[in-house]
Amino acid sequence: MKKGKAYIIGAGPGDFELLTIKAKRIIENADCIIYDRLISEDILRLPKKDAELIYLGKGNTEGGLIQDEINQEVLQDLFIFLQDILWKMESGIILKILQN
């Protein structure tokens, strides 16, 4: 049974050249990316073609969400993910935080 992994990757000021090699590799292989308005277009070109990209930016002028809605959406997605993991019990989740 495949184990799920969730990474929180800080992209710093959003500059592509400041990503670590490990962060770049994780982004390139991710199934789902949740990002905000600070991420650069160069970084958004890294994920594989079938990766799900979820924009949760705060900039209301650009169609973003307010912080409470962002928090609710992230928690809801995490809850669904964890519920699936717990249901399978053989699977595990590893949360790693990469600091750039």
Contacts of 95 (CB under 8 A, 6+ apart): 5, 6, 7, 8
Q: How many CB atoms are located within 10 Å of the residue 41 CB? A: 8
Say how far apart CA 53 and CA 31 lie, in whole Å. Answer: 9
The reply to whether 84 belongs to the active site is no
Say how far apart CA 90 and CA 86 lie, in whole Å. Answer: 8
Say how far apart CA 98 and CA 82 lie, in whole Å. Answer: 20
Q: Which of 58, 68, 77, 88 is catalytic?
A: 58
Tracing tokens 């799920």 back to the chain, one arrives at 4
Q: Which of 24, 36, 42, 68 is catalytic?
A: 36
The reply to whether 3 belongs to the active site is no
Catalytic site residues? 36, 58
